Structure 1
């Protein structure tokens, strides 16, 4: 369990903290405060999960043993504990959540416009 930045109690689980973003924050069951972890925490979590996944597969193939695949869940648990202790949760209010969601929507619309424009330009260049 991890400390809520508002009520200072150990109420937020490791998985909730690992998945907490400004768009989808973790909620403290005691005080109802929403909080999120640093983007660096999210990035390191994703990287460690990827390395553990492929690493456990490679080790299993090299050793020719399915037991090596147990490295993945054990490694996830260890990474959750280590990264959970490295990054503190930050409080966020409703206005901050709305702003983060608005930024995400704008970014998605920009990417969709770029993809649509590239598709239209590419289609026009294909010739008759």
Structure 2
């Protein structure tokens, strides 16, 4: 568990800390406030996932066994713990949270419009056929 940057209580788990972004912040179980890590941490996580994915495939082929694929989850667990130690949590301010709310609303709006467009398209092609 890691300290919340707002109340200093150990309330944020390793995976939640590593995956916390301004768009999906880690919420403290004690004070309920949001925090996130630097974007560089997320970039490092994505890069490591790519390396471990292809590396585990090559390792499995080299070993001639599916056990080589275990390099992916083991490597991701190790890199998550390492990144949690390297990057501190940043407290989210009102600007970050309001921006997040706007993006979430726009994303849901886009998803609803896309679903409606697909439904209308599906109904029009189904009735024509």
User: For this structure pair, what is the TM-score category when the shorter chain's length is used for normalisation?
Assistant: 0.7 to 0.9
Q: Which runs of 4+ in 1 moved over 3 A?
A: 100-105
Following the alignment from structure 1 to structure 2, what is the Cα–Cα distance between the partners of residues 51 and 94?
Answer: 36
* 1:26 CA drift (Å): 0.6
Is 2:72 the counterpart of 1:72? yes
Distance 2:58 2:19 in 1: 27
Aligned to 1:26: 26
Q: Which residue is 1:98 aligned to? A: 98
Give unpaired runs (5+ residues) of structure 1: 110-128
**1:31-110 alignment, distance < 5 Å:** 31-100=31-100, 102=102
Q: What CA distance in whole angstroms lies between the structure 2 residues aligned with 1:29 and 1:103?
A: 24
> So what's the TM-score if we normalise by structure 2?
0.74
What is the match of residue 16 of structure 1?
A: 16
Unaligned runs of 5+ in 2: 111-129
SS of aligned partner of 2:5: coil
In the alignment, the residues of structure 2 paired with residue 99 and residue 31 of structure 1 have an alpha-carbon distance, to the nearest angstrom, of 21
1:29 counterpart SS class = coil
SS in structure 1 of the partner of residue 6 of structure 2: coil
Cα distance in 2 for residues equivalent to 1:24 and 1:37: 10
TM-score scaled to structure 1, two decimals?
0.75
Aligned to 1:6: 6
